[in-house]
Structure 1
């Protein structure tokens, strides 16, 4: 008791010089007499009012006094110290008074404390309240702080509601029962009605949550809301709060059935749902509609990509990312197919046109199939897959290579000048650096076809200070690993061994295996220090070992094998596009590793490409031509090696001289995309033939600059003409000033309207500016902001529209751009949406 009295009195003396203590029942006399307060003089008032007044006002006007009076407080008319009392404070020693004193609250809060005594009986709650209480708190504000403590939240009423919804999602009501126990339930539901518009005969958090989802969904699809605009603002903030994501998802799933959302969505055009993400079923409905519309080609590619961009803001986007990506790539594929012309007049023109634009169709097809596979939704995507697959194989892959085959059939020699031949790689590309006495590192990735390398190029160029370019080489024929790898080494005499191994000899030396390739590499340029190693060995090196590797050698070959290792097996060929994605990531890491080891010049190339069809190969895709020859040395799915071979309508024969090889081994190549049957091997992923996809080999040259060369796009706020906010909502357009490129990267911003004090008075939006279009009109984002009730306090004042940018991956934001508006609302149109 004495300790509480001492604390209560100390709190009073923090604010007053003179404190009165009335003891009606004399129960605290002993406490008074035993009390010691530093710097405070105790005086008992017993018919000594004038002497006391003289003492405290004249003799010691700056000292502190505790005036104790036994008995009831006298009526004001008989209280000779009334003026002193009114100018200072009164201490009450009952429990409520002690709480008031402890909290530093004036007597006007006595009725509040008595009403909620149960709240204050907890020392933990009392201490928590003491840390958040403010001198200008009203009774309503204080009750709101007490509510926050009951639910364990920090912040305004929004955080209280969020906490209660979180408990509801977990099937608990601990906080709600505590609120009832301390007598704050009436205040809670009053606030629910006043702020959010929720009223019910028997209010409950569960009923409120259903009403909230119902009201906000109804508003989103064009109906009249049940709750206030503040409820919609709350809903948006809550839905977009990462910390509340699990709770939101759980309640949304629970109420989708209660509100018959699926039935309602079935009656709506998906275009009206693009900005709606209240229920996961909305994403499913949009995806189903998009799959059908894109399959039927009844929607424009630009519209599809725009809708998908908008859906990135959906609460559920991550769960459906691969489906959206697959649909987007399918739409881009269709657009590319509608614009492509597949004619050519020569082998050289075919290679040039493939490297300039045709490769993009292979790339879009690969990206579509990969994301479709990754989504795991084969049944849902079947209609779209069938459309894309048929279009790709019959209208592109087959037509392109039949047009190409015309020139293959009439070519006397396997040459496409001025496109450099693959076997000139060492002389022309490696030699370019060695003639300047510059070190060069070469990464050779097995089956890295041109379109995958072009995607890699974009990844490399997007890295700060990295510059890169790509050009095509004309691959050796047949386009298989042994010959492709040998062609990239220094070579004077290049021939296929006259046996059943298909081994390739360079200057009489077998090129099979790492050790043999090291020996051949050493024959390139007199005096060059050369070596070769596997990618795994390089990645396993520490920094000093990697630097020593580059320091001690002039030419380093790094062999990487992921695509071919996956695609060339029957059991895994359907995962070749997954391997392509992984290969890009691994090569980026290899490039960074080499650059970190002081390698300034890097080339990425391949031994050959490949053709791939995701659907199992049909009978018509196998060559019906008869293989005829004196001696068959080696048979693969896309080439035959031997002597005395006979060409026919389905097979083109080449002599070694025609394909710039030495020796006497001849070859047969199936025409166009046809495969030869081979027991126990896959048939969807193949190479060895003469199609553009197999023989256009990429050469990606990479170097590192000294200065930073990347930046983010700039974003502007397109102001309204009058810069005035006159209703509960405002539409604003944001403009991305330039298109995204490899070196000009996207920018992600958070937008909201704030009072000058820094208080958020609207909903908040996460915006991604990653438009690649050259058309300025296609780089705008319109956003509608809803003002909260807090905005009322700032009417007829300037408010600020702020764009904030997240600092790296942290939770901290920095101000990026602002615009000032005048808030001039008529309260009659608070709910005019």
Structure 2
């Protein structure tokens, strides 16, 4: 029985005769022998010629003697080999037709004749019109040597079968009951998928290959590169040869807004399942700063930084600041767990504990120092408090918080106030610096509109920060001044 309906065959034959005088139809199984006359009757201005297997030369003469008409040459035998076929030259400028569904599909897919075996092999996939439409949409001429790429691209809807995008989509479908892995297996392209992926990353396809193990190998290969291959020997079997492609994939995966959640899940799973906390916890903090793919690395580094605080003394002060700055400057998002406030708190705390109030004998020297430098003490303390309030779990930082509170209040602030009280003399304050003269100095003689904003307890250091922010606007010109009032103030 025919594999296509008669109407489809007629429509296809008529389309062939639009541009061809002859159409050859070899029907070696003679499936259409009984209905060929009926089919020919529905062809527009076309004659039917029934060729015989042992009369090819006669067939050629008959056809050439009637050059005025179009002919459907129906041959109920197998197409002869080229060296035995007297009609080869005519076939060259004619059209071959077959009622085999595979041939029709091949043309619908706009594939060349050399892909006929490919279409036959994957007839279960090409059986649905929607799948054929997807295949045509995502097919690329670059797939010619491995046409299975077209099926994989169509299943995953991946333009040009970009390997990074492909793998991110497959990973996002999960390790268990993965939809894509199931469909690849169903349509017999799973082996091709693994060969493509492992070839891209430089690994062998073996019995152990699975999605979870592949992800572990990718992360470990990237980690080994960050640490200059300083991982235990048990991880050697995880390494993939194409480390550049591993880096490209991880960078795209980690920085993708679309797949960020899946990257985080993969990263945490690899960290936990391979017990990387135990592997890396003895490494120096400076070495750990090179690691950018595991959020958990922050907790190891922070623990090491906290250990550098010994009361009011900081061990390796310069290195501590360098480590913190490196972690804060990572371009990749390493703070999904909310560890940015911790780094900032420790930095401000270390800076504060490293400060001292200069000893002076004159209140004017103290004032000038405050206006130029010492106001930053108040800024650092304020920012340390702000960072601390943003820390979710403060258990590891509460002792440091108590230390800087005492140091700021009992040492820095008390020393400054004591010096001021011992040396300050209101009588020595110039008139232009007295707050009580504010109106006379800044408002009375100004002819333009003046706006005066009163803000209770607006500290000088806050005003300095506001000045810096406003100065960053090229449309504004800022000039800040100060005034002195009597105590309390």
Q: TM-score interval w.r.t. the shorter chain? A: 0.7 to 0.9
Given the alignment, which residue of 308, 319, 324 partners 2:327? 308
Question: 1:247 Cα deviation (Å)?
Answer: 0.2
Given the alignment, which residue of 321, 324, 343 partners 2:360? 343
Report the 3-state secondary structure (helix = DSSP H, G, I; strand = E; otherwise coil) of the residue aligned with 2:206: coil
Distance of aligned partners of 1:310 and 1:317 in 2 relative to their CA distance in 1, 3 Å threshold: farther
- Structure number with the higher helix fraction is 2
Q: Which residue of 1 aligns with 2:54?
A: none
Distance of aligned partners of 1:441 and 1:267 in 2 relative to their CA distance in 1, 3 Å threshold: same
Given the alignment, which residue of 30, 34, 39 partners 2:42? 34
Contact kept? 2:22, 2:73, Cα under 8 Å: no
Cα separation, 1, equivalents of 2:389 and 2:472: 27
Question: 1:329 Cα deviation (Å)?
Answer: 2.7
Question: 1:471 Cα deviation (Å)?
Answer: 1.9
Question: 1:384 Cα deviation (Å)?
Answer: 3.3
Counterparts of residues 485-504 of structure 1 (less than 5 Å): none
For structure 1, the residue ranges without an aligned partner over 5 or more in a row are 480-833
| Per-residue Cα deviation, 1:59-104 (whole angstroms, up to 9, x for no partner) | 79xxxx7855242343123433323434665343322112111011
Q: Which residue of 1 aligns with 2:342?
A: 323
Distance of aligned partners of 1:190 and 1:379 in 2 relative to their CA distance in 1, 3 Å threshold: same
Report the 3-state secondary structure (helix = DSSP H, G, I; strand = E; otherwise coil) of the residue aligned with 2:119: helix
Please report the TM-score for the alignment, with normalisation by the length of structure 1: 0.50
Report the 3-state secondary structure (helix = DSSP H, G, I; strand = E; otherwise coil) of the residue aligned with 1:466: coil
Q: Which residue of 1 aligns with 2:99?
A: 93
Report the 3-state secondary structure (helix = DSSP H, G, I; strand = E; otherwise coil) of the residue aligned with 1:210: helix
Cα separation, 2, equivalents of 1:469 and 1:270: 43
Contact kept? 1:192, 1:198, Cα under 8 Å: no
Contact kept? 1:5, 1:98, Cα under 8 Å: no
Counterparts of residues 568-647 of structure 1 (less than 5 Å): none
Question: 1:180 Cα deviation (Å)?
Answer: 0.3
Counterparts of residues 138-217 of structure 1 (less than 5 Å): 138-140=144-146, 142-154=147-159, 155-168=161-174, 171-196=176-201, 197-217=203-223
Question: 1:139 Cα deviation (Å)?
Answer: 3.5
| Per-residue Cα deviation, 1:509-564 (whole angstroms, up to 9, x for no partner) | xxxxxxxxxxxxxxxxxxxxxxxxxxxxxxxxxxxxxxxxxxxxxxxxxxxxxxxx
Question: 1:135 Cα deviation (Å)?
Answer: 4.1
Distance of aligned partners of 1:251 and 1:89 in 2 relative to their CA distance in 1, 3 Å threshold: farther
Is 1:417 aligned with 2:430? Answer: yes
Q: Which residue of 2 aligns with 1:353?
A: 369
Please report the TM-score for the alignment, with normalisation by the length of structure 2: 0.82
Cα separation, 2, equivalents of 1:330 and 1:15: 84
Distance of aligned partners of 1:14 and 1:161 in 2 relative to their CA distance in 1, 3 Å threshold: farther
Cα separation, 1, equivalents of 2:289 and 2:18: 59
Q: Which residue of 2 aligns with 1:132?
A: 138
Cα separation, 2, equivalents of 1:412 and 1:464: 39
- Structure number with the higher strand fraction is 1
Contact kept? 2:26, 2:79, Cα under 8 Å: no
The one of the two structures with greater contact order (alpha-carbon pairs below 8 A, sep at least 6) is 1
| Per-residue Cα deviation, 1:122-144 (whole angstroms, up to 9, x for no partner) | 3222112212323454131x322
Contact kept? 1:116, 1:182, Cα under 8 Å: yes
Cα separation, 1, equivalents of 2:94 and 2:301: 68
Contact kept? 2:163, 2:197, Cα under 8 Å: no
Cα separation, 2, equivalents of 1:10 and 1:474: 101
Q: Which residue of 1 aligns with 2:56?
A: none
Contact kept? 1:277, 1:283, Cα under 8 Å: no
Q: Which residue of 2 aligns with 1:426?
A: 439
Q: Which residue of 1 aligns with 2:86?
A: 80
Counterparts of residues 257-656 of structure 1 (less than 5 Å): 257-293=272-308, 296-300=314-318, 303-316=322-335, 319-334=338-353, 337=355, 341-343=358-360, 345-346=362-363, 348-408=364-424, 411=425, 413=427, 416-417=429-430, 420-431=433-444, 434-435=446-447, 438-475=448-485, 477-479=487-489
Cα separation, 2, equivalents of 1:302 and 1:269: 15
Distance of aligned partners of 1:251 and 1:92 in 2 relative to their CA distance in 1, 3 Å threshold: same
Contact kept? 2:140, 2:150, Cα under 8 Å: no
Contact kept? 1:91, 1:101, Cα under 8 Å: no
Report the 3-state secondary structure (helix = DSSP H, G, I; strand = E; otherwise coil) of the residue aligned with 2:292: coil
| Per-residue Cα deviation, 1:260-292 (whole angstroms, up to 9, x for no partner) | 111112121121121212222211111222233
Cα separation, 1, equivalents of 2:361 and 2:66: 112
| Per-residue Cα deviation, 1:474-511 (whole angstroms, up to 9, x for no partner) | 245433xxxxxxxxxxxxxxxxxxxxxxxxxxxxxxxx
Q: Which residue of 2 aligns with 1:245?
A: 260
Cα separation, 1, equivalents of 2:327 and 2:142: 49
Contact kept? 1:8, 1:99, Cα under 8 Å: no
| Per-residue Cα deviation, 1:615-654 (whole angstroms, up to 9, x for no partner) | xxxxxxxxxxxxxxxxxxxxxxxxxxxxxxxxxxxxxxxx
For structure 2, the residue ranges without an aligned partner over 5 or more in a row are 52-58, 230-235
Distance of aligned partners of 1:258 and 1:87 in 2 relative to their CA distance in 1, 3 Å threshold: farther
Report the 3-state secondary structure (helix = DSSP H, G, I; strand = E; otherwise coil) of the residue aligned with 1:120: coil
